[in-house]
């Protein structure tokens, strides 16, 4: 049987799609044939245009994922639009930077709510839908190099992404027998809004570049192939993997 990366006829939900990695993932899934429900808290017009140019249909769902309130609506609007939901990409995330000695409870809770709590409950709602319909599906969580390492001045982000790696493995173990693949991608240092503070700091920028064997910050487009693989039939026997896409950072 030939290996297939074709997503024609599938519908994906991708969170955090107004820019950056979420936008690139949405476009890559559309290139592979999927229709994409875009979830974000600000305008996704640019992403809608890019997905349409790639041949995919889009639905924009405005939602603030700092609370659980939008979760039922995200599924309802997607199903009302497409009649199905086959792929969930939990990409939305936030970061707060401060020395651990000065870190506040508000900054801790804000990051953990978006990066871990909402991810779990959205995955739960998505899985319930699949199980009730007796259908297979793919969940892709966007982890981080800080799922493996400690980071600098980002204690809640590191904790959330380390927790997300563990949650990915736990859900994979529990849901594999139900036809649901749960995996994660751990991006390295990509040029996005979240990393702008590092890129404009000459010392941090130079230190990061010196550590990347590929010799450059990742372009968001370079993440799409991993997302298509994990969303496609080609990965049907892949469960509980946290796949680094990092220019060789972890290999050094």
Residues annotated as catalytic are 157
DSSP at 77 = H
Alpha helices in the chain (DSSP H): 20-31, 45-53, 71-82, 105-112, 118-133, 155-175, 196-199, 202-211, 224-231
Q: Which helix (H) or strand (E) holds 58?
A: strand 58-62
Q: Whole-angstrom Cα distance, residue 79 to residue 89?
A: 16
Distance CA 116, CA 213 (A): 30
The closest alpha carbon to 27, from 231, 182, 185, belongs to 231
- Dist. CA 165–CA 173, nearest whole Å: 13
């Amino acid at each position: 049987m030939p290996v297939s990366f074709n997503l024609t006829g599938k519908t994906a939900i991708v969170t955090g799609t107004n820019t950056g990695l979420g936008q690139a993932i949405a476009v890559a899934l559309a290139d592979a044939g999927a229709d994409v429900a875009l979830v974000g808290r600000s305008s996704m017009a640019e992403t809608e245009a890019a997905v349409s140019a790639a041949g995919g249909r889009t639905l924009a769902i405005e939602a603030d994922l700092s609370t659980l309130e939008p979760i039922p609506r995200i599924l309802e609007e997607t199903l009302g639009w497409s009649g199905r939901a086959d792929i969930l990409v939990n990409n939305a995330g936030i970061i707060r930077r401060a020395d651990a000695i000065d870190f506040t409870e508000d900054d801790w809770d804000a990051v953990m709510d978006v990066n871990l709590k909402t991810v779990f409950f959205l995955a739960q709602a998505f899985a319930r839908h699949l199980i009730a319909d007796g259908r297979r599906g793919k969940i892709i969580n966007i982890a981080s190099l800080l799922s493996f390492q400690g980071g600098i001045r980002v204690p809640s982000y590191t904790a959330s992404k380390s927790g997300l790696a563990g949650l990915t493995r736990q859900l994979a173990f529990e849901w594999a027998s139900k036809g649901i693949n749960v995996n994660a991608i751990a991006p390295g240092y990509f040029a996005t809004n979240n990393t702008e503070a590092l890129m404009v700091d000459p010392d941090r920028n130079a230190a990061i570049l010196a550590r990347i064997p590929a010799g450059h910050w990742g372009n968001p487009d370079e993440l799409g192939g991993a997302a298509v693989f994990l969303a496609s039939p080609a990965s049907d026997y892949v469960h509980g993997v946290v796949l680094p896409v990092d220019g060789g950072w972890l290999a050094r």
